[in-house]
């Protein structure tokens, strides 16, 4: 008389069921992961976008920005939302028109190391120089009252254009005056050059070797 046992068959069926459920669980987790990634990519957040070029050291105002909805994912915290803009904030670097406002581009007004000075450029202001352009300020010291000047030399190298006034008239033209953002450590030298009658020139950075 023979006896048959069903233990091995039952064990194989049991482990087969386990593998089946594990496979189902992995498929579900995979689908869930893809869904989370897609949902994260589709989610947007309101951030500030510059509506004009804002120069180094300039006070930040809500009127200088528009609110846009963008999908930034994990880097969203690196940009300012409308509620993050506070009174007393200034630009710690030039923010270009259309650029999203990053948190690294703002600073407290009390920490500002720059000021604005209007100078007269002896050679005029080149057409390709615009607000926010990095430039160098050169000067030629006056030698005498007859209009003779010494060789030109650099006066301030880390300068940014803040504004370029236009002359009055039917046909607006650029004047020789230009407003510059200058480091406070250079202010005394710049004012001394102006009062000393030196000829000042605004030159695009890197244009003079």
For residues 85 and 128, state if they share a domain: no
Q: What is the value of pTM for the model shown?
A: 0.66
Structure confidence by residue, pLDDT tens digits, 9-34: 555 555 556 776 777 778 788 877 77
Is the domain of 120 the same as that of 194?
Answer: yes
For residue range 51-106, list pLDDT tens digits in order.
Answer: 999 999 899 999 999 999 887 766 778 899 999 999 889 999 999 999 999 999 99
Asked whether residue 31 falls in the same domain as residue 51, the answer is no
Whole domain around residue 97: which residue ranges?
Answer: 45-110
* Residue 3 belongs to a domain: no
For 46, half-sphere exposure in the C-beta direction (CA atoms, 13 angstrom radius) is: 8
**β-strand pairing of 114-120 with 134-140:** unpaired
pLDDT, tens digit, 9 for 90 and up, residues 151-167: 999 999 989 999 987 75
Q: Are 92 and 151 in a shared domain? A: no
Task: State how many domains the chain has.
Answer: 3
């Amino acid at each position: 008389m023979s006896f048959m046992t069903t233990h091995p068959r039952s064990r194989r069926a049991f482990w087969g069921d386990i593998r089946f459920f594990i496979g189902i669980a992995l498929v579900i987790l995979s689908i869930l992961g893809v869904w989370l990634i897609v949902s994260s990519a589709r989610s947007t957040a309101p951030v500030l976008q510059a509506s004009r070029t804002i120069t180094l050291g300039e006070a930040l105002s809500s009127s200088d920005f528009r609110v846009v909805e963008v999908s930034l994912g994990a880097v969203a915290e690196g940009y300012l939302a409308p509620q993050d803009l506070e009174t007393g904030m200034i630009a710690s670097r030039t923010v270009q028109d259309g650029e999203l406002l990053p948190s690294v581009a703002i600073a407290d007004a009390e920490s500002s190391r720059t000021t604005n000075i209007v100078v007269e450029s002896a050679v005029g202001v080149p057409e390709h120089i615009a607000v926010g352009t990095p430039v160098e300020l050169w000067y030629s010291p006056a030698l005498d009252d007859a209009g003779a000047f010494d060789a030109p030399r650099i006066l301030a190298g880390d300068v940014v254009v803040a504004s370029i006034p236009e002359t009055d008239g039917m046909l607006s033209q650029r004047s020789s005056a230009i407003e510059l953002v200058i480091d406070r450590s250079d202010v005394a030298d710049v004012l001394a050059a102006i009062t000393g009658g030196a000829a000042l020139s605004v030159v695009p950075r890197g244009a003079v070797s």
